[in-house]
Amino acid sequence: MPAYKLTYFNARGRAEPIRLLFAAAGIKYEDVRIEGADWPALKPKTPMGQLPVLEIDGTMICQSKAIARLIAKDLGKTPLDLAQADMTYDSLEEFGEKMRLCFVEKDENKKEELKREFEEKTLPAALDRFEKLASAEGYFAGNSLTWADVNFFTLFGFVDILMPGDHLKGYVNLNKVTGNVSSNPGIAIWLKERPESQF
Ligand SMILES: N[C@@H](CCC(=O)N[C@@H](CS)C(=O)NCC(=O)O)C(=O)O
């Protein structure tokens, strides 16, 4: 088994789907969490000046989806399953970016406008779309967990924090996705034991 070292900030953020996949696969890794003050010195040493970075026996890989795919490679997927998982993952990223823009906006009036647009249009449209993409068994690809499922789980965890509400109410397939993720034996342990952080 290679030595895995995952480096990210002290947050769930883009590293958390990877941590969930490590937990689901039962793979041991070093979970390195750096402080913001240490980032400027580390940044130029990373492949793309961004985190997360996964080191595998010293070789650095960045881009969270590439890392997630690598960790999940033993979950037994067909090329079509992989494409479906990527499709949903990328759509979740686009959705997450729209949400992020609401929160980084400095102008208060513009921020309110962006949030309203997000809550009234972007969020319901995304939920309808993801509900159709998820199977009745609660998976976005194939019949078992992929990076798309764990990304949905972690991203909607942030939606609930940032915009409290019962957003998944009535979305039968999506509730199954979150249930499948949280009840995975390795993930269930991780969710209980993981370090506390706001995001
Ligand atoms: N597409 C990249 C985005 C990575 C990214 O934006 N990382 C942020 C933290 S979430 C970062 O490293 N920010 C610090 C910086 O850019 O200096 C991925 O999915 O890994």
Judged against a pLDDT cut of 90, whether residue 162 lies above it is answered with no
Per-residue model confidence (pLDDT) at position 58: 92
Which atom, in ligand 1's list, is nearest to the CA of 52?
A: 20
CA atoms within 13 A on the CB side of 113: 6
Residues of the chain with CATH 1.20.1050.10: 76-183
What is the pLDDT confidence band of residue 197, given thresholds at 50, 70 and 90?
confident
Per-residue model confidence (pLDDT) at position 184: 97
Ligand 1: residue whose CA is nearest its atom 6: 50
Q: At 199, is the secondary structure helix, strand, or coil?
A: coil
Rounded to the nearest whole angstrom, what is the distance from the C-alpha of residue 143 to the centroid of ligand 1? 30
Which of the 8 DSSP states describes residue 195?
A: P
Residue with the two structure tokens 């513009």:
110
CATH superfamily of 4-73+186-193: Glutaredoxin (3.40.30.10)
The rounded distance, in Å, linking the Cα atoms of 188 and 122 is: 30
Which atom, in ligand 1's list, is nearest to the CA of 9?
A: 9
Ligand 1: residue whose CA is nearest its atom 15: 50
**76-183: CATH topology:** Glutathione S-transferase Yfyf (Class Pi); Chain A, domain 2 (1.20.1050)
Per-residue model confidence (pLDDT) at position 155: 96
93 burial via Cβ count (<10 Å: 0-12, 13-18, 19+) = middle
Judged against a pLDDT cut of 90, whether residue 168 lies above it is answered with yes
